[in-house]
Amino acid sequence: MIVNLSRHVFGSHQGYRTLAASEDLTADELAELQSFVFGQTNNAEYLATLKSTPAYWSRQLSSGRRAVTRVFVGPKDDQGRQSLRFVSAILYAKDWISAINGEDGALVGVDKIWSWDGKPRLPRIEVRVTKPDLVNPNAEQRQRILSLVGLIESMSNSPNSSIVVEERQLAPAEFAMVLALLPVWFRPQFSYGFRSLSEALPVQLNYLAPCASRGKSRRKVTPWRPHGGYASAKYASGLAHFWPEGGPPPWEFVENCKAFGDLLPTFEGTEVSSGTVAPPAPTLKQKRRQQRRQPRVPRIVYWLTAMALIIGATTYVAVNTIMSRRHADAVLDAADAFLTENADSSQLPAAGHKRKKIIETAQSHADEVADLTDSSRADRRDAVATKLNDWLSAAGDKDTKLVSLDEMLTSFETFAKPLGLENPESLVEIPDATSRSAVVGWKKRLEDSQAEASLMGEPYPTKIASALNRIHDWNVRIKELLNQCDAGLDGILKILGGPLPTTLTNAIDRTWSDVQSQLAKIDKILPEAQVGDVSPADPTTIDEYLSELMEQRDSVQHRVDSWAKHINKIKSEMNEFLDEAKGLVAEHKLKFDPVDAEAIQKPWTGAASAKGALEQALDYWPDSEEMLLLEETVESWMNKAADLAMAHFNKAIDQADSIWYDEKKRSSVDAQSNGLSTLPPNPTEAIKSLNVALDYWDANSSAIRHFDARMADRRHRQAVSLKTELINANSNYDKVVNPTPSPTPKP
């Protein structure tokens, strides 16, 4: 059969919270589905069996819909502890009955229902379900099943009590049969947990796992005894009557029976009442035995025996009557004394051992009075029983309300922790729409409980007032965060509202960094997940304010994107020149001082190109500290290289001039020693030396002229003049050393 259902995921992500939900879930339903009451465990054996033997619980929500919650292994939390994930299927009660007859095993076995892709929204889905097959139990199993059905029947009017069944006591197949044998009309109001981890789970039937925690429940807990009887349970007795051992259960009886815990209607011509069934008719063999003739006994023996029996019976009855009346008087006197001492059950302590002890005493008196059978004390017995029942009813009503308030407050604390409701001042991020809607639902529940809490007395009014104050402070904190975002977005729009810059400066760069930092802070307060289409069914002032901020955030983002595109374009073009300059600096090692004057020609060319590239890059960002520092490095290298080149050039000229001077001096001395009037000097070595200087000039003139071009040009002219002098001297020297011979006269 096809069934349509909603879904909900509750798990750990920075604390337990709603991770995903279908859109049709109300705030009250979300609040109930976020209750962390199933229990917790790190037992590896239990966690490993959750796929093969599912753990789940089923109950009716306050909205009337049915929720079946299955338990899965969740991720490790922030402290490295194992968490659980609770996936719920929610469907209307009429579908729950018509589709699967209230047998949740049909839903638990459909993997499609429990799969989750990690997205925050879960669509409603349609699935085909098939009722699970049930195996007919043997005689021993039948007895256990009837015993548990009888206990459920006897406690059917105590919704705030729990029957606890341990996993070792009852097999899962037997548990499924128990659920299937409950009257169909009774199932929607019945709640149960299967393989639960806490005795405090608020269900009527709690099937506990071996590793479950015990002794922490505020509910009345009744342990199930597998060998207990069911004679006082009318429905269970009728079920046993129509269910033959080894045969199938009487499904027609289960479907048609309209009473549970009361007299059963006639079924197949048999009236079942008080849990008794008429004895079967005697067989033919038994009838024949009864018809056998007995040996004759003298009639006097019969008379004597009859007289003895009558006298004995009369004496026994008289003694028993006296003892019964005395016992009845003692029981009724004790009950009256108790009622006198505790006249008003509403004045009992709100909680604690003393209250529990008094109520147990009252119940004990009520049980003793109910067991009285002396008809002579019937009127007094009925009067005292009525008073005790009224007293217990009043105390039970208060207990029910106290348990309800305690469970609500415990659920709220579990819900509040991951959302920052424990300390609203510490809230730094606006919760999502689902969480805010759930808080609205909790506020309504707490406000609706204030009147009842006032009647119950302290500490409940104070606890509920404290919870409402925290919700108020939480909303105030959210508005503060929204105001921060609003002011931040206005500031960004003012900064980016002017024309786009044509060049970059340090001031513009700092402003741009501040804008990005401020926008990142705003985005942390307004997570990206919220920027989408969030439309709460019942929007609050906060939702409307947030919606306006989302529109403003989009406008700011559009302007930021324009700035980012423009600035990235400027930086891209600038980086082309900057990367070229950096490459040249690295290639020619311009960060190191030049040491060889004769090897500066190539690096000088590279330095000049690097400087040109830096000048072009600085046009995009005139006060860039990085580029100015790099330009300073290049210029420092060029200055040192220019000093080295000028010194080398001057040294080469001076060396040639010195050689020429020494040669002229030597030539004069040699002429005098040989008695010659003149002997021209040889300029060959001086010319070689001067040519070295002039070649260096030709290769490195830009470096030589870097500091003082006029001085460098003057030195160059001096070198050229010296070369002219040396060339003329060389011509004279050649004439003297190699004179041209006179032509031979012709004959």
Q: Please compute the mean of the pLDDT values over residues 299-308 and round it to a whole number.
A: 72
pLDDT at 135: 83
Q: Once rounded to an integer, what is the mean pLDDT over residues 341-370?
A: 71
To which residue do tokens 């060339």 refer? 727
Q: Which residues pair with 208 in a beta bridge?
A: 166, 196
Q: Give me the chain's average pLDDT, please.
A: 83
- Is 369 found in the same domain as 263? no
Among 409, 431, 455, residue at a domain's last position: 409
pLDDT at 714: 95
Q: pLDDT tens for residues 523-571?
A: 888 865 444 444 444 556 888 888 888 888 888 889 899 999 999 999 9
Q: Which tens digits make up the pLDDT trace of 703-734?
A: 999 989 999 999 999 999 999 999 999 998 88
Whether 205 and 320 share a structural domain: no
Residue of 452 and 536 predicted with greater confidence: 452
In this prediction, residue 618 carries a pLDDT of: 92
Q: Which of 231, 253, 273 is the last residue of a domain?
A: 273
**Amino acid 276: pLDDT:** 35
Percent of the chain at pLDDT exceeding 70: 85
**Residue 348: its pLDDT value, please?**
61
> 229-284, pLDDT tens digit by residue?
666 678 888 888 888 888 889 888 888 887 787 534 334 333 333 333 334 444 54
Q: How far apart are CA 489 and CA 498, in angstroms?
A: 15
Output 515 or 395, whichever has higher pLDDT.
515
User: What's the whole-number mean pLDDT along residues 21-36?
Assistant: 89
CB atoms within 10 A of CB 640: 14
Candidate from 403-417, 544-558, 619-633 with smallest mean pLDDT: 403-417
Confidence grade of residue 302 (pLDDT, cut at 50, 70, 90): low
Are 257 and 401 found together in one domain?
no
The arithmetic mean of pLDDT across residues 607-623, rounded, is 93
pLDDT(191) > 50: yes
Tell me, yes or no, whether 111 and 228 share the same domain. Answer: no
Q: 609 vs 738, which has greater pLDDT?
A: 609
| Domain annotation covers residue 667 | yes
**Lowest mean pLDDT segment, chosen from 73-87, 426-440, 669-683, 718-732:** 669-683
The C-alpha atoms of residue 463 and residue 470 are separated, in whole angstroms, by 11
pLDDT of residue 604: 93
Residues 62 and 164 placed together within one structural domain of the fold: no
Residue 400, pLDDT above cutoff 80: no
Do residues 84 and 11 share a domain?
Answer: yes
In the predicted structure, residue 319 carries a pLDDT above the cut 80: no
| 294 compared with 123, residue with greater pLDDT | 123
Residue 59 confidence (pLDDT) = 93
Distance set, CA 171 to CA 43, 133, 136, 207 (Å): 20, 15, 13, 10
The tokens 């789970």 sit on which residue?
201
pLDDT tens per residue, range 2-17: 888 999 999 988 778 8
Q: How far apart are CA 258 and CA 242, in angstroms?
A: 16
Q: Which residue has the higher pLDDT, 701 or 302?
A: 701
Both 117 and 157 in one domain: the answer is no
Shared-domain flag, residues 102 and 149? no
**pLDDT score, position 267:** 40
CB 21 within 8 A of CB 122: yes
Q: Do 602 and 731 reside in the same domain of the chain?
A: yes
**Cβ-Cβ contacts under 8 Å for 407 (sequence gap 6 or more):** 37, 202, 218
Q: Is residue 436 part of a domain?
A: no
**pLDDT score, position 2:** 82
Contacts of 529-533 spanning 24+ positions with Cβ under 8 A: 529/120, 529/432, 530/430, 530/432, 530/433
**Whether 256 and 404 share a structural domain:** no
Cβ proximity of 22 and 47 under 8 Å:
no
Identify whether residues 611 and 747 lie together within a single domain.
yes
Q: What was the pLDDT predicted at 263? A: 39
Residues with Cβ within 8 Å of residue 169, at least 6 apart in sequence: 144, 224, 226
Smallest CA-to-CA distance from 200 within 225, 220, 175 is with: 220
Burial classification of residue 534, based on how many CB atoms lie within 10 Å of its CB (0-12 exposed, 13-18 middle, 19 or more buried): middle
The total of structural domains in the chain comes to: 4
Q: What is the pLDDT of residues 196-241, one digit of tens each?
A: 998 888 899 999 998 888 766 667 888 888 876 666 678 888 888 8
Q: Is the pLDDT of residue 654 over 60?
A: yes
Judge if 231 and 364 occupy the same domain. no
Q: Is 606 helix (H, G, I), strand (E, B) or coil?
A: helix
What is the DSSP code (8-state) at residue 672? H
Task: Please identify, among 409, 437, 456, the residue that sits at the C-terminal boundary of a domain.
Answer: 409
Q: What is the distance between the alpha carbons of residues 712 and 701, in angstroms, rounded to a whole number? A: 8
| Structural domain of 378 | 306-409
Domain-embedded: residue 495: no
> Is the entire prediction scored with pTM above 0.75?
no
Do the Cβ atoms of 318 and 363 come closer than 8 Å? Answer: no
Task: Please state, in angstroms and rounded to a whole number, the distance separating the CA atoms of residues 654 and 644.
Answer: 15
pLDDT at 397 over 60: no
The pLDDT, as a whole number, for residue 346 is: 57
Residue 560 phi/psi, 5-degree rounding, is -60, -40
